[in-house]
Amino acid sequence: MTSFRRRLRRPVFLGPSAAVLLLAAAGCSSMDTHASITVPTPTPEAAAYCRALHKELPKTVAGQKRNDPGPRSELTAGWGDGAIVLRCGVDRPAKMDDPMAKGAEADGVNWLLEQPEDAGPRFTTTYRKAYVEVSLSTAYAHDMSPLAAFAAAVKKTVPSSV
């Protein structure tokens, strides 16, 4: 059996295709440590509660230092590099109409649990005059303990709707 081996007499120039591949890989690992999120557009009443909440939020949550995402807003906050993100004044989740929806309680604050595909858990307060949403990275897939860090601030600034 004859083996065919082709030898190249000169180096192969990969040119633009290699450069494009390198740039694409670099684009996937951004140097920007601040995540970008959508800022909610609440009613004026809810926005006032959210501004008050923003002033009361903790400097650290679950060992993560405060690192607010862009664009900067009194309606959003973050800890770590996107590990924990809070948005205040979000719309009421449709999932709240589901009688089978899962919920949790953390230090006197009730939360609706949603599990988006390919993302960590998302919790939204229930029975409050403004909806506060906390999204956790997949590192917290089975850990809702970060919610306790928000309980005192939520109870102090966002009144119950019940």
In eight-state DSSP terms, residue 71 is: S
For the chain, the C-alpha Rg in angstroms (whole number) is 23
Among 137, 136, 132, which residue's Cα sits nearest to residue 150?
A: 132
Specify the pTM.
0.78
Q: Given this model, what pLDDT does residue 82 score?
A: 92
Q: Given this model, what pLDDT does residue 20 score?
A: 30
Among 93, 83, 66, which residue's Cα sits nearest to residue 145?
A: 83
Structure tokens at 124: 């939204």
Mean predicted confidence (pLDDT) in 135-155: 94
The dihedral region occupied by 40, where left means phi > 0, alpha psi between -120 and 50, and beta the remainder, is beta
Q: Given this model, what pLDDT does residue 35 score?
A: 59
Cα-based torsion angle of the residue sequence 157, 50, 56, 149 in order, rounded to the nearest 10 degrees: 90
Angle formed by the axes of helices 148-157 and 44-56, nearest 10°: 130
In the numeric block, the tokens 């600034």 are attached to 157
Mean predicted confidence (pLDDT) in 128-151: 94
Note the pLDDT tens digit of each residue in 45-67. Answer: 999 999 999 999 999 999 999 99
* Euclidean distance between CA atoms 10 and 87, whole angstroms: 58
Q: Given this model, what pLDDT does residue 162 score?
A: 85
With a cut of 90, say whether residue 130 has pLDDT above it. yes
Percent of the chain with pLDDT over 70: 78
Mean predicted confidence (pLDDT) in 7-19: 37
